[in-house]
Amino acid sequence: MAGMRQTPLTCSGHTRPVVHLAFSDITSYGYFLISACKDGKPMLRQGDTGDWIGTFVGHKGAVWGATLNKDATVAATGAADFTAKLWNAEKGEELHTFPHKHIVKCVDFSSDSSVLLTGCHDKNLRIFDISKPEQEPQVFSGHASNIRAALFMKNDKSFISISDDKSIRIWDTASNSEVKKIEIPSQPTSLELARDGTVFVVTYGNTTSFWNAQTFEKIKDFESHLPINSSSLHPSQPIFVSGGEDFKMYKFDFDTGAEIESFKGHFGPVHCVRFSPDGELYASGSEDGTLRLWQTQVGKTYGLWKCVNPEENGLSNSDPNISTVKVET
């Protein structure tokens, strides 16, 4: 398949920049993808095809963070309207609104979906008990600036956060305390926990850095030729993908940092990239208001990609704005 052009599946429907993406685990119905967008209307899609399933309506401001629990039964979103919301992902209904004192930038479920972690512009992190949503949350203070992202570690006993104060911090949920602070040279742009929970990935400036999730020691980092907004590590292969300011998607070798391939497609900076749980594709969200799904192995028969020459199907390979997915809006 050498030399084949990548034909991403383009998912339209959003009207403003797409700023965050999250996949569910693989369920009996496949896997699912949620997108956070500045249009205030997070969307749920079938993960392997990009087909629109529904839109969560209720926020009154830009949605900065969105996530699904493992089996895609519940969703959570964080927004500029000073709230995080909990949703029934199967019916699209709002289950609860968690008020905050400022913009909510990120949301994450514990592995058993019993609690919700949020990061806020008031510099605090909060954990809400989903079974007692009216109860006051557990609050974690220490960051000196806006929270960018926060994620539970695999055991749910600790979580990690990144902030505009140029730090990565590890927190212990039981003692309500910060257990580790790692300073980095510039403001971080994204945070990901690898699917097996052993590595976390942080991007800042032109750098993608990989850290041991048990010891919190840096494993390695790679410099790019441009600012990187987001990177994602493949669930099983030694590769990672990145997107940034030049509208392109890049795939790199995790062992050497060498660029394997790059593809144009978006018409604006790439804000978020994530591998699917099976590693067959990766999704990107951009300033241009679209999501795109890209094949990890170009030309492989998977989902809506058929192993044929796209020219013969009347799709021009040179046109990156091909929408092979019918999306209702």
What does the pLDDT look like over 240-293, one tens digit per residue? 999 999 999 999 999 999 999 999 989 999 999 999 999 999 999 999 999 999
What does the pLDDT look like over 174-233, one tens digit per residue? 999 999 999 999 999 999 999 999 999 999 999 999 999 999 999 999 999 999 999 999
Name which residue leads in pLDDT, 259 or 7: 259
pLDDT exceeds 80 at position 306: no
> Which residues does residue 274 pair with via DSSP β-bridges, in sequence order?
283
Predicted pLDDT of residue 311: 42
Burial category of 191 from C-beta neighbours within 10 Å (exposed 0-12, middle 13-18, buried 19 and up): buried
DSSP for 171-239, written as a single string: EETTTTEEEEEEE-SS-EEEEEE-TTSSEEEEEETTEEEEEETTT--EEEEEE-SS-EEEEEE-SSSSE
Distance CA 190, CA 204 (A): 7
What's the topology of domain 9-313?
Answer: Methylamine Dehydrogenase; Chain H (2.130.10)
Predicted pLDDT of residue 65: 98
DSSP code for 280: S
- Total-model pTM: 0.91
Domain locations along the chain: 9-313
pLDDT exceeds 80 at position 4: no
321 — pLDDT class (breaks 50, 70, 90): very low
Distance CA 200, CA 158 (A): 13
> Which residues does residue 294 pair with via DSSP β-bridges, in sequence order?
282
CB 32 within 8 A of CB 23: yes
Distance CA 283, CA 243 (A): 10
CB 290 within 8 A of CB 9: no
Burial category of 63 from C-beta neighbours within 10 Å (exposed 0-12, middle 13-18, buried 19 and up): buried
Q: Which residue has the tokens 């839109």?
A: 55
Name which residue leads in pLDDT, 323 or 4: 4
Tokens coding 82: 């000073």
Distance CA 75, CA 35 (A): 11
Distance CA 27, CA 37 (A): 25
Mean pLDDT is lowest, of 19-33, 42-56, 315-329, for: 315-329
Residue type, 230: S
Provide the phi-psi class of 162: left if phi over 0, else alpha when psi is between -120 and 50, else beta.
Answer: beta
What does the pLDDT look like over 106-123, one tens digit per residue? 999 999 999 999 999 999
What does the pLDDT look like over 36-77, one tens digit per residue? 999 999 999 999 999 999 999 999 999 999 999 999 999 999
Distance CA 96, CA 31 (A): 24
pLDDT exceeds 70 at position 126: yes
149 — pLDDT class (breaks 50, 70, 90): very high
pLDDT exceeds 80 at position 312: no
Predicted pLDDT of residue 3: 59
Predicted pLDDT of residue 319: 33
